[in-house]
Amino acid sequence: MSDRKSLVKDLRRIVVKVGTSSITRNSAEESMEFLEDVARQVKTLRDGGIEVLLVSSGAIGLGLDVMGTDAHPKNIPMRQAAASVGQSVLMHRWNTAFEKYGLLGAQILLTMDAYSVRETANNLDNTIETLLDNGVVPIFNENDAICTKEIDVMFGDNDKLSAVIASNTESDLLIILSDVDGLYDKNPKIYSDAKLMNIVESIDDVMHMAGEPTTRVGVGGMKTKLEAARICADAGCLMVIASGLKKGIIEDIVSGQDIGTAFVSDSEIPKKRRWLKFANPKGSVTVDEGAAKALGRHRSLLPVGVTEVSGKFDRGDMIRIKFEGKTIAHGITNYNSEDVISMIGLRTSDINEMMGCNRDTDIVDRENMVLL
C-alpha cells in the first residue's frame, strides 16, 4: 500500500472541490474566513509551481439565504431560481477573497450537454489552459439555473463535475472538501467504533458504504464522491476526501499528511475514451448477441448486428449501444439515425448494392468507442 508522501510527489496541477457546507456557514463572516483561507493556500501553491482549479458549490444555498426562502432539495424551480441569484453572490465572495492575495478568478458554468459536444469540450480545454497561462484561477460550477434534471443531461452534483474536470485537464490530484472527514467503514453518526479509511485502492470494494446527502441544499453524498473517485481512477488521478473545516487543509494534503481518505489507481484510460465514457449520448442503438460479443472483442459495430434505433442523432454524435436493455458501450456514429434505421440488419454487400457504391458501413468504428 502506498504512503501519502509518495502519492503526492511531483504534483503540477490539482483541482479542489468546495462543498456547499463549506461555503454556507453560520454567518457571512465565517464563510469569508473560509474562502480567504482557500485563497491563501491557492496563492501559496501557485507560488510553489502547482496550478489550482476550483469547483465551487454554494450558489443554491447562498441564493436561498439571500431570497429568505427555504426549499426542499427536490423543488427544482426554486433551486434553479436560487442558483441564478446565488451565483453572483458566490463569485463576488470568491473574488473578494482572491483580491486579498492578488489573485483573479474566472467563472465557468457548465452543463453536461455542453461537455458532451466534442468540439465544445476541446474549446473548454483551450479556455482553461489560456486562463492558467495568464495566472487566472478557473472557478467551475454546474449551471443549475438552466440545466434540466432529466436523466443524463446534467452532471447532477459538483462531485462528479470536479472529477470530470480533473480528468479532462489531466490533473494529478482532486481534493473534495466536505462536511465529513473522509470515508468510514460504517456510518460514524450511528456507530461509535466507525473507522476512517486512510487509502482505498478498489472503488468496487467500498461502494456499499455510500450514503445520501446530509444537508437541505447539498445534493452530493458519499455515493457521488465514490462515483467521482471512479472517474478519477480511470484518469490515473489521485483523489482525496477531507473535511473543509480545518484551516490549511489543502496545503496539508498536498504535503502528504495522512488526512481524509485517498483513492488511488494504477490504471489510466486515454483521454478521448474517458470523454466517450462520461459524456451525454444523443440516442441509442440496440444490438443482437453476436454484435455484443464482437464489441467485447473490440470490433467495430456493423449494421448487421443492429436491431433497433432510439432517439434522433446526426453523424458525429455520440450514441449508446445497448444489449438486452443495458448500455454496454458509447461511440461516435458515422451515420445519422435515419440512415442507421435504413441499414438495420443488412450486410455490407447488401448496403453497397442498395447504395450502388462501396462505402465504409461501420456504424461505429472501434477507435471511436468505449466499452462500459
Q: Nearest-CA neighbor of 203 among 222, 225, 229, 184? A: 229
State the average pLDDT for the chain: 86
Give tens-digit pLDDT for 212-222: 544 444 444 78
Distance CA 207, CA 204 (A): 5
Distance CA 188, CA 184 (A): 7
pLDDT at 3: 83
The superfamily CATH assigns to domain 4-274 is Acetylglutamate kinase-like (3.40.1160.10)
Q: Which CATH architecture has domain 281-371?
A: Roll (2.30)
Per-residue pLDDT for 266 more than 90? no
List beta partners, residue 52: 14
Domain boundaries, given as residue ranges, for the chain:
4-274, 281-371
Would the CATH topology of 4-274 be identical to that of 281-371? no
Give first-to-last CA distance, the chain, whole Å: 28
More confident residue, 92 or 357: 92
Q: Any idea which residue has 466534442 for its cell?
A: 118
List beta partners, residue 238: 173
Q: What percent of the chain is predicted at pLDDT more than 90?
A: 49
Give tens-digit pLDDT for 275-312: 888 888 889 999 999 999 999 999 999 999 999 999 99
**Residue 144 grid coordinates:** 443549475
The single-letter DSSP state of residue 184 is: B
Give tens-digit pLDDT for 98-127: 999 999 999 999 877 777 777 888 888 999
∠ CA 289-204-367, nearest 5°, is: 45
**Residue 166 grid coordinates:** 480533473
Give tens-digit pLDDT for 186-211: 877 788 888 999 999 888 888 877 65
How does residue 150 score in pLDDT terms, banded at 50, 70 and 90? very low
Give tens-digit pLDDT for 356-369: 555 567 899 999 99
Q: Taking residues 54-75, what's their average pLDDT?
A: 81
Report in angstroms the alpha-carbon separations of 342 from 76, 271, 309, 346, 360.
40, 33, 10, 9, 15
Contact, 140 vs 54, CB < 8 A? yes
pTM of the full predicted structure? 0.80
